Structure formats: C-alpha cells, structure tokens
Structure 1
Amino acid sequence: MVSSQHKPSDATAPRPPVAQGVPPQVKILQMMNAYRLAQSISVVAKLGIADLLTQPQSITELAQTTATHEQSLYRLLRVLASFDIFTEDESGLFHLTPRGALLQSNVSNSLRDYAIVVGEMWHWRMWGGILHSLKTGEPAFDHLFGMEFEEYYQQNPEVAKNFDGAMVSALAMTDVAILANYDFASFECIVDIGTGGQGDGKLIASILKNNSLQRGVYFDSPTRIEQVKRLVEVTGLSDRCEVVTGDVFASFPPGGNVYIVKNLIHDYDDDRAIAILKNCRQAIAEHGKLLLIEMVIPPGNEPSLGKILDVEALLMSTGAIERTEEQYREVLSASGFQLTNIISSKSPMSIIESVPA
C-alpha cells in the first residue's frame, strides 16, 4: 500500500527538476496503483458526481443525491481531489475542476462514457486474463467469456450502449483535431466511412457546414444510421449529404475525392485491412486522397497511449493491432496506395494521408 502521506498528484503533472530524484520504488508503486485510480474515476462517473457539481455541494448533499454512504463517498472524493479531479474548500464544499468537468454528461468533450467502460467488470476481467494472451497470442476476452467481443456486444445491450458511447466520446476530440489540422476546401465530394456502427456523422456534418459548395457521403453499417440521418436533417444538410449503409468488406461508395476512414483499420489484421483498403482503392477518384485516422505507434521507448491500447487490442479481438508508420506504409502499399504524409494532432490520433499508387 502507498503511504497516505504521499501526494498522488506527483504521478500526473509535470514536475520541477527536484522530482527527478524520486526513488524508482516510489515511481513503480505509483504505476502499480494506477488501476485503483481508474476504478475510482469510473465509479464517480457512474454516480454522475460531475453533473451534480455544476454548483459546489457538501458531501452530505452528494451522498443523499447519489444514495451512497456519506463517509465512504467522502474518502473516495478526497482521493480524487488529490488528483485535481475535484477540490474541497475550507468549508467542506466540493467543486469541479477542468479535469473533473470532462466527466460531465452532455458536454462536447465529455469522457464520462469512456470512464464508465474502463471500470466495467467485463473490461477488468479481460485485463485479468493478459497472461493467456501472452502465452497463446489469442484474445483473453474470447477465453474468459467463451465468445468474441462482437457476439458479447450483441447479446448485452447495456454493454453495447456504454461501449458505443465511450467510442463516440473518445473520438469527439479526434474530430476537432481533424478539422483543425486538415484543409478539405479543395475536395468536391467527401466520403466519411463510419466505424462499424459507432460513428455519429458529426465529422462530415462539420466539414460540410464549413464548406458550403461541397457534397458528402456518410457510409456505415445500419446500427446508428438512423441517428446520423436525423443529424443530417437537423443541420440542414439533406440536399448535400447522402447517408448510406453497406459493408466495407464488400465495397465503398464510388467517386469520392477524399475518403476518411477513422478508427477502423486497427481492428483488423493485415489481410483484412488490405481487403478493406483495396475496396477503397477501387472506389476512389483518380486524383483522390485517403485519410486514415489512427494512432501511430512511435519508435523506441517513447511513451504512447497507442502502445497500451495495442495491448488492449491483443486482449480484446483477434487480429486487432495498433501499427507503426512503417506497418501502415506496408499495408497501404499492398492495397494500391502510397503513403504521402502523417499529420500529428492534439488528440491521440494522427491523419495518415495517402494517394492511389
């Protein structure tokens, strides 16, 4: 156990040079205790604490509203206050911080759904099976649950709802980063390929609203397509944005000048990724561009969210993998594309630009 005198915030914020002398035992203890923090964040997200703190509240008020044990809730919020997720003032009122605000629902940059999924029992069990994946190279999820995640997803509507919400919220910052880092003005027709029913159509809607002379196509499996159709209607884009369903393993909508394929290719091994991208190659206009929106694993020992999520991919789904630049270059080349640029963004994702070879 970590001493209660240790300040957890040392593990989360940039530190002055003096902190470089922290003993390795303390550093690795901080790392080993990270899972406890993740579960703590997840449970306050489930309770909706951040939504309640739009105005400062006492622990008594929070406990009454959330039907929790007052002293127990206080002990948890005290931990999270030490990580600057909440703050407690001298009068005992709890306040929201910019970090904690990300756990609110119904805000544009919310990570509440993502935080909930991180704490779900199925997710914890999956990571508990990591040794199986290391021994066999097979997903721990399949071993533990007796089925692939997709089947589990289909059989458990609440899991599916939470997982979809987590993906949409996590990718919202990516949409902002794409719009800030790529100029779509020169493209006549933009095709946005959904992410297996987890896309929401907001990216193509934003691009078209910013470029009034363009037309677009949103293409996805049927799961969320009605929601996207409603978005297109509400935003007044029905005359410029076609919403169609299909299967990326069968064909892509033809004739687009730029195809945006976001958070999809990493779900598949090289053979299936190449099959998808070859369908895009057949559909794309002669001088078109393909934009893969994915994490790119950096070389060497550089820290990267993509590296830890690559292990999650190993545990969760057969063939899923986060790739390096060279690996993307090889997959694209085998599909008939030439990688031309990788554009970093303020999100964990990069824009991998390529053209027909």
Structure 2
Amino acid sequence: MDKQVDALETGRNFNLFDPNLPPGQQVLGLFYAKWILGALRAVVELEVPDVLADGPLTAAEIAAKTGTHADPLYRVLRAVSASGIIAERADGRFELTPLSAGLVSNAERGIRDMFLFASDPMFLRPYEDVAHSVRTGETAFEHIFGMPFYDYLKANPASSALLNRAMVQNHWPLSDRIFEEFDFSRFATIADIGGGKGQFLAEILRRHPGCTGVLADQAHTVTEAKQVLEDAGVADRVEIVPTDFFVEVPAGHDAYFIKHTLHNFGNDAAKIILGKIREAIGDNPEARLLIVDQMITGPGEWDTAKLIDVEALSVIGGRERSRKEWDEVAAVAGFEPVNAPEPGGLVMLEYRPV
C-alpha cells in the first residue's frame, strides 16, 4: 500500500513544464504528455492492468500472459511507471496504483473504454491539423478522414461501439453534485433529450421515486436502454421514445433535460434542438429546460472546458460555451435564464419558456 501511495504522489507531483529548462524552453515539456499517452495506450490495449489486477508481476510474467515480448514491454512499463500511473517495485515487479486501477476491465467506476476512446486515432489525428480548422472553420477530422465524425461512426461499427461503452463510463464526480443539489422532485415528468442508454435519467428517477421519465434519442442509441433502466429498478417509470431531436421532441412534459449533448453541436444546430424543445413545451409557463454541460470561465483562468473546446472545434464541429453564449442560444429558441451557477466544470443551467 505504501508503494501505491508513493506512486500516487508521483502522479500528483509530475510537472509537464520542467523547471530544469529555461522558461523559454519549458513548453517543450509538453512532449512528455505525448510520450506518456502513447506508452499508456499500449499498456491498456494489451490489457496489462487486467493482468496486474491479481497482484504484482515481472515484465516477463506479464509478457507471457499478454503474448508480447518482454524487453519492449519492460521499456514501455518503465516509462509509464516514471509518471506514477503504474508502480515499478525494487524487486523488478510492476503493480497497479490508484491512478491505474480504473483502467482494469469492469472496474467499479472504471474508465478503460473512456481512455481508449479519447486516445483513439480518430481523436488524436485531428490534432495534427487544428490549423486547418482555424483557417477554414471546418473540422480537421473531415479534412483528414474524408467524412464528418458521426458519418465515420456509422461507417465503423467498432468505433461506434467503443463510443457507446465510453459514454456508459462517463460519470463525472461533478454529476453527483448536481444530483445532490438540484431538486428534480419538482417535476412529475422529466424528458431526457439525447439521453443515450438512460443512465443519467435512471439515477434521477432512482433518487426521486415520485418522478416518471421519458428517454428520447435515436432508435439505434436507445436499443440497449431497457437493460440499463431495469438494472436501476426504474424501467416501469420510463417511456422510451426513439426520435431525432432535430425533427421532433416528445411534448407535454414538466422538465426537458439535456446533458452533455449540446456541446457536440455548433450554435446553429443547438438553436434548432432547443427550438424543438420549446415547441414541445408549448404554452406551459412552469415547464423548464435543464442543460447540464460545461460553462467556460473568464479570461486567463484554467479550465479544462477551454481544452475540450479545441477538440469540439477540430473533431466534431461543436463548441463549449460561456454563460453569455449559453444564454444567447437559449434566447433564440425562446428561453430565459432562471439560475446563476458559477462557471467552471459541469453545471446545471435552468431556463424558463418565454
């Protein structure tokens, strides 16, 4: 256990901006991120964390279990261990740390599929030409792969399946704060728009037994939702509605909830989606639009949403938004803000129809 704690501290203290370099050269430390990511992706692809789940092993023992060569495997593991993600012990064996425990298949709150998805070439290669997006306003993804991101997923079922698995694992700790702080019990019926397999809606209903829900997403997306809802014990309180939210949204509900979806689209598309929700609300002044997404902080402040926004720009053609930008797209669709969450990280934005 001491080794794991030490490794965790190594990870926390790791600094990409090497203080041993002159200030004008420290940006070269960003190379470290590339080297670590490439090595760690190989380790995860080869299911090394799964092999180490039962206890420490030497590189030769891991190689025998994974069908790999011991020497190159050792060199890759040594590099990953230098960052504290896996621990290299004095006796020559490697073991998991708190930083790598979530990379084991089927780990509780695991992130293996999220990691493989985010580090897949379909996400990495567009970063080779972000300048194309800046010059043209188009996605670097389409420039490199010859088709838009979502068309690529349709043409590559394995990539689409990886996305679906990754989204099931996409549980941010900040989501728990939203569950705990927001009173969903105010609404008798909650429509989750673009809710995928329904895991977020299931958690809302699990916490609020007086509510019922509607899960609305494309037919191929909601096919596996029934099992998710049954596992959560809420299937009898959810209606599954296959739909395209650019065309139609189920009408007549008290709250329209849309989580981590609108950032996948540019402003024009977001306005269409919100417009369909406004049509579905009709003349009910008590109904609410609930948006769970990132809200960008002010100038110069550290914010991962600012980094994710570059991925949205270059890969899928979407965008992260500031409060002003959220209010602008909502206003065009016929909504005005109700609450005022602090920017930074995942927030719940509540709007009323006007």
Question: 1:305 maps to which residue?
Answer: 304
Query: Contact 1:342/1:351 (CA < 8 Å) preserved in 2?
Result: no
Give 1:171 deviation, angstroms.
4.2
- Compare 107-116 and 256-265 and name the one that shifted more: 107-116
CA distance in 2 between partners of 1:224 and 1:150 (Å): 13
How far did residue 9 of structure 1 move? Answer: 9.3
Mapped contact 1:216–1:242 kept (Cα < 8 A): yes
Unaligned runs of at least 5 residues, structure 1: 1-7
Q: Deviations over 1:130-158 (max 9, x none)?
A: 22222212111111122111111111111
Aligned residue pairs, count = 343
CA distance in structure 2 between the aligned counterparts of 1:291 and 1:14, rounded to whole angstroms: 38
Name 2:209's counterpart in structure 1: 212
**3-state SS of paired residue (1:209):** helix
Amino acid at match of 2:230: E
Instruction: Tell whether 2:282 aligns with 1:262.
Output: no
For the 8 Å contact 1:178–1:351, the answer to whether it is kept is: yes
Matched, 1:353 2:312: no
Query: Which AA in structure 1 matches 2:111?
Result: L
CA distance change for structure 1 residues 69 and 56 in 2, over 3 Å: closer, same or farther? same
Output aligned runs, 1:35-184, within 5 Å: 35-54=34-53, 55-171=55-171, 173=173, 175-184=175-184
Alpha-carbon distance in structure 2 between the residues aligned to 1:75 and 1:252: 53
**Displacement of 1:110 after TM fit?**
1.8
In structure 2, the gaps of 5 or more residues are: 1-6
Distance in 1 of aligned mates of 2:302 and 2:193: 30
Letter in 2 for 1:328: W
Query: Which residue, 221, 234, 238 being the options, matches 2:235?
Result: 238
Conserved 8 A contact 1:9-1:82: no
Structure 1's 43 and 174: CA in aligned 2 closer, same or farther, altered over 3 A?
A: farther
> Could you tell me how far 1:14 is from its partner in structure 2?
5.4
What letter matches 1:132 in structure 2? H
For residue 291 of structure 1, what is the aligned residue in structure 2?
A: 290
How do residues 182-193 of structure 1 correspond to structure 2 at under 5 angstroms? 182-193=182-193
Which of 329, 332, 336 is the equivalent residue of 2:330?
Answer: 332
Q: Which moved more, 1:295-304 or 1:277-286?
A: 277-286
Aligned to 1:3: none
SS of residue in 2 equivalent to 1:323: coil
CA spacing shift, 1:249–1:26, aligned 2, 3 Å:
same
State the 1:245 CA deviation: 0.8
d(CA) in 1 for partners of 2:250, 2:49: 42
Cα distance change, pair 39–59 in 1 and its aligned pair in 2 (3 A): same
Separation in 1, partners of 2:9, 2:130: 28
The SS at the match of 1:244 is strand
Is the 2:133–2:140 Cα contact (8 Å) retained in structure 1? Answer: yes
Q: Of 203, 218, 222, which residue of structure 1 is paired with 2:219?
A: 222
Deviation at 1:123, TM superposition (A): 2.7
Instruction: Decide which moves more: 124-133 or 153-162.
Output: 124-133
- Cα 1:350–1:135 shift into 2, 3 Å: same
Amino acid at match of 1:220: D
Per the TM alignment, residue 117 of structure 1 is displaced from its structure 2 partner at its CA by 2.5
Going from structure 1 to structure 2, the CA distance change for 1:27 and 1:188 (only over 3 Å counts) comes to: same
Answering whether residue 23 of structure 2 is matched by residue 24 of structure 1, we say yes
Give the % identical residues. 31
Q: Distance in 1 between matches of 2:121 and 2:236?
A: 44
**Match of 2:59, as an amino acid?**
I
Q: Judging changes above 3 Å, is the alpha-carbon distance between structure 1 residues 10 and 105 closer, same or farther for their aligned structure 2 residues?
A: closer
**Letter of the aligned partner of 1:241 in structure 2?**
V
CA contact (8 A) 1:259 1:291 kept: yes
1:38, 1:118 within 8 Å by CA — same for their partners in 2?
no
Inter-partner Cα distance in structure 2 for 1:176 and 1:128: 35
C-alpha displacement of 1:191: 1.4
Q: Is the 2:11–2:85 Cα contact (8 Å) retained in structure 1?
A: no
Q: Distance between the aligned counterparts of 1:120 and 1:351, measured in 2?
A: 30
- Answering whether residue 314 of structure 2 is matched by residue 323 of structure 1, we say no
Q: Normalization by structure 1: what TM-score?
A: 0.87
Q: Aligned letter for 1:160?
A: S
CA shift, 1:292, in A, is 1.0
The answer to which of 241-250 and 116-125 deviates more is 116-125
TM-score (structure 2 length as normaliser)? 0.88
C-alpha contact 1:297 1:322 (8 A) present in aligned 2: yes
